[in-house]
Amino acid sequence: MSPHRLLIIKDRIKMIGITIFLLHMLVVIPLGHAQSSHSELESSYRFLVSNRDTADGILYMATAGKLKGRFLPLSFTDSPEYWGEYVCRLPGNTCIVTDVYDPQTYSLTPQKSIPGDLQTERINTHNGTNIYDAATWQIAVMLGHVLNRFPLPNNQDAYALVRNQNSLLRAGYNGNSSQSILSENRAITVNKVFLYNHQVITEPKQAYAFRMLPRNWLSPDPFMGTQYADQIKTSNLPTQNPAYQPGMVTWSDWKPITGENAWAFLLGPLQAAYIHYVIGQKSAFVPLQDLAVQNALDILPTFAAMQSPSGALYYAPTGTVANQGDQLVDPYAVSVENNFSLYAGLKILHATLQATITHEKNLNAKDTAKTNEALQLINAMINGGMIGQHRTTSGLLTFFRELAWHDGEFVQGGRADDPNSTGKWLPSLLPKAVDVNTWGVSALGPQQIDAWFGFGAAYQNWQQVKQWGGYGIGRTLWGVGFSDQDGNGIDGSGNYRQGILSTEWTAGAITMLRSMISYYQTIPSESSYYGKARHFLEQLKLDEQSMLAAIEKMRIDIYATAGFPGQPPNFLQLLPPRQTSPYMYASKRYLIPFGWYANPIPSTCSTAWIIMVLDSYNPFAYGGKY
């Protein structure tokens, strides 16, 4: 067994101790995005399809095995100056770190300390690809090419570029991996690590992918070769292996999460395939043998394995380390937002398979049977029924309706069906999460929310979210942050606070509003709810327009002089002007209550979400329809 493979196993065991074309839309919604011109949007698109090292983009070229020569996305672009001149000098921070080599695990990692945490963060940020971010990237790349007719550098094929991410997940190894080990980026069960709700998954293509994938297992600190390199100290380096050198650190983020996998295997690739085949090629279906569909079918039973009797899917397999510290995730923990992502993905997979089995000719008996079995499993996961041998579930819809809704909002999470607990569901009421509500309404549809909880429930949900999550100036809404603990919301005078603005989550809020606009405008004049619906529409459209206008301030060239509270001083010296126009992840650096840092740096998922918003594409619905 190779040292690299041995390390992965040992590390897992050790872990125990994200002109507009609307012809495809059912409802045309006024976009009102005059702030962003066609050429400016194209500049943002170029960020998503260009090389990071040579053209201010976000792509890198893979060198490993079958992936060699293919471009793959990263999550962020940063600079040594952002970390060295800004983050390292914030109160309480220091970046003088010592990395220690462990011959037992062949690992080179920082000592547990604030400098060690900061090094891990910048290495993950600089070298990593969150599979959710890559999924949003897949959708945006196809939208920009098919709907906006944006060109790709060197006349690349857009769908071939998007398909590279599917190939990466299928291959099971990372883009610059030196040994191309088939389970390198997939969380197969080893002993009692990565048990899927007590079930063993040993086939890599059926296992969850890790949420954050590196280019390679040994990852460079962005301080290497810069004026900040002297802040990196080392101890006990192996003299016989030149790969280990100051600034090279072994990857440490091995977290398989349900929500990220829902995006990586369902939402991102299936929506991209729809845009390519159905919108672009005018086909009635996505071919069954397309890698997007095959990857989804392979992991579908694993999603089912993670579903509880109450209907919710668990957050992560046993043995997964939490976002902060060394504590392990509770195997009965549930993220409601993760479940909305999975629900939307299942609906899209169901619609994709239904179109395929209806329209694709020459499917053999084996393929037809496999497709019908998948459709039956999806129906059971959503509506309740048998999801495996001697296993049943109440279904996702029952969970959302009966357990996840509390006082007019969706709770961010809880614990489900723990055999040692007195109740089948113990909700976590705090902190509140913005995205569980905005994504939840978009995924379920406001009509479903209102049918369950009374007419106007979806609208009132948004009003409540604004009270604690809205960001703005005076009484003008700019967008949303992440939680009720961000310093956002509305004060006693009715004015918005300015805690932190999230580009990505604001785009999700706009998507929610458009879902509600498309629904409430269908209420007929003879309905007793017509007057309420007209009032709802008036306010929703105002919120939509104000957020569309404000979100442009998060484009890097505008952000540089926007003067957001908490914006890094001398920003242009930290991240100078670029050839492309990406959108920032957040308005300031901030430790999000859910366990990761927001940074005001160019972001793949933020830029991708902006393209989805400006192309009026709802990622939570088949074909992007509202």
Inform me whether the pLDDT recorded for 62 exceeds 80. Answer: yes
CA pair distance 173, 177, nearest whole angstrom: 7
Nearest to 479 by CA among 385, 566, 550: 550
- Count helices and strands (H / E) in the chain: 21, 22
Within a domain: 544: yes
Within a domain: 586: yes
Lowest mean pLDDT among 189-193, 258-262, 376-380: 189-193
Within a domain: 46: no
**Residue corresponding to tokens 């059971």:** 380
How far, rounded to the nearest angstrom, does the alpha carbon of residue 449 sit from its chain's CA centroid? 24
Confidence of residue 325 (pLDDT cuts 50, 70, 90): confident
- Do both 323 and 293 map to the same domain? yes
Rg value, the chain, Cα: 23
Yes or no: say if 589 and 599 are a contact pair by the CB < 8 Å rule: yes
> Which amino acid is it at 24?
H
CB atoms within 10 A of CB 495: 13
> Which amino acid is it at 72?
L
Inform me whether the pLDDT recorded for 63 exceeds 80. Answer: yes
CA atoms within 13 A on the CB side of 286: 26
**Percent of all residues in the chain with a pLDDT value above 70, rounded to a whole number:** 94
Task: List, in sequence order, every residue forming a beta bridge with 109; answer none if it has no partner.
Answer: 100
Domain boundary among 384, 405, 429: 429
CA pair distance 206, 261, nearest whole angstrom: 11
CA dihedral 159, 162, 164, 169 (to 10 degrees): -130
Lowest mean pLDDT among 235-244, 265-274, 434-443, 551-560: 235-244
Confidence of residue 475 (pLDDT cuts 50, 70, 90): very high
Angle between helices 446-453 and 457-469 (to 10 degrees): 100
Inform me whether the pLDDT recorded for 164 exceeds 80. Answer: yes
Yes or no: say if 112 and 100 are a contact pair by the CB < 8 Å rule: no
- Do both 423 and 493 map to the same domain? no
- Do both 313 and 425 map to the same domain? yes
Inform me whether the pLDDT recorded for 11 exceeds 50. Answer: no
CB atoms within 10 A of CB 230: 10
Inform me whether the pLDDT recorded for 7 exceeds 60. Answer: no
Yes or no: say if 408 and 400 are a contact pair by the CB < 8 Å rule: no
Nearest to 174 by CA among 233, 235, 205, 217: 217
**What is the tally of structural domains in the chain?**
2
**Residue corresponding to tokens 């009032």:** 535
How far, rounded to the nearest angstrom, does the alpha carbon of residue 90 sit from its chain's CA centroid? 28
Domain boundary among 385, 414, 429: 429
Within a domain: 168: no
* Residue range 79-101: mean pLDDT, rounded: 97
pLDDT computed for residue 101 by the predictor: 96
pLDDT tens per residue, range 112-126:
999 999 999 999 999
CA pair distance 272, 292, nearest whole angstrom: 9
- Do both 516 and 480 map to the same domain? yes
> Which amino acid is it at 62?
A
Domain boundary among 409, 429, 449: 429
Q: Which residues contact 369 (CB under 8 A, 6 or more apart)?
A: none
- Do both 408 and 531 map to the same domain? no
pLDDT computed for residue 4 by the predictor: 45
- Do both 345 and 456 map to the same domain? no
Within a domain: 200: no
pLDDT computed for residue 306 by the predictor: 98
Average pLDDT, rounded, for the chain: 93
SS3 of 139, please? helix
β-strands 385-388, 333-335 pairing: unpaired
CA pair distance 183, 170, nearest whole angstrom: 10
- Per the structure, the complete domain to which residue 420 belongs is given by 258-429
Inform me whether the pLDDT recorded for 23 exceeds 90. Answer: no
- Do both 324 and 302 map to the same domain? yes
Residue 346: both structure tokens together: 């299942």
* Residue range 321-338: mean pLDDT, rounded: 92
CA pair distance 172, 248, nearest whole angstrom: 23
Phi, psi of 209 (to 5 degrees): -85, 150
Confidence of residue 36 (pLDDT cuts 50, 70, 90): low
- Do both 542 and 601 map to the same domain? yes
- Do both 488 and 610 map to the same domain? yes
Nearest to 253 by CA among 615, 613, 596, 600: 596
Task: List, in sequence order, every residue forming a beta bridge with 392; answer none if it has no partner.
Answer: 386
Inform me whether the pLDDT recorded for 14 exceeds 80. Answer: no
Taking CA atoms, 283 is separated from 23, 274, 359, 377, 403, in Å, by 15, 9, 9, 26, 40
- Do both 419 and 476 map to the same domain? no
Within a domain: 95: no
Within a domain: 449: yes
CA pair distance 396, 342, nearest whole angstrom: 9
Inform me whether the pLDDT recorded for 18 exceeds 50. Answer: no
pLDDT computed for residue 180 by the predictor: 67
SS3 of 428, please? strand
CA pair distance 264, 242, nearest whole angstrom: 35
Within a domain: 51: no
**Percent of all residues in the chain with a pLDDT value above 90, rounded to a whole number:** 90
SS3 of 560, please? coil
Inform me whether the pLDDT recorded for 10 exceeds 70. Answer: no
Residue 508: both structure tokens together: 């999700």
- Do both 375 and 459 map to the same domain? no
What sign does the CA torsion over 185, 251, 339, 458 have? negative
- Do both 506 and 369 map to the same domain? no
Residue 431: both structure tokens together: 């902190």
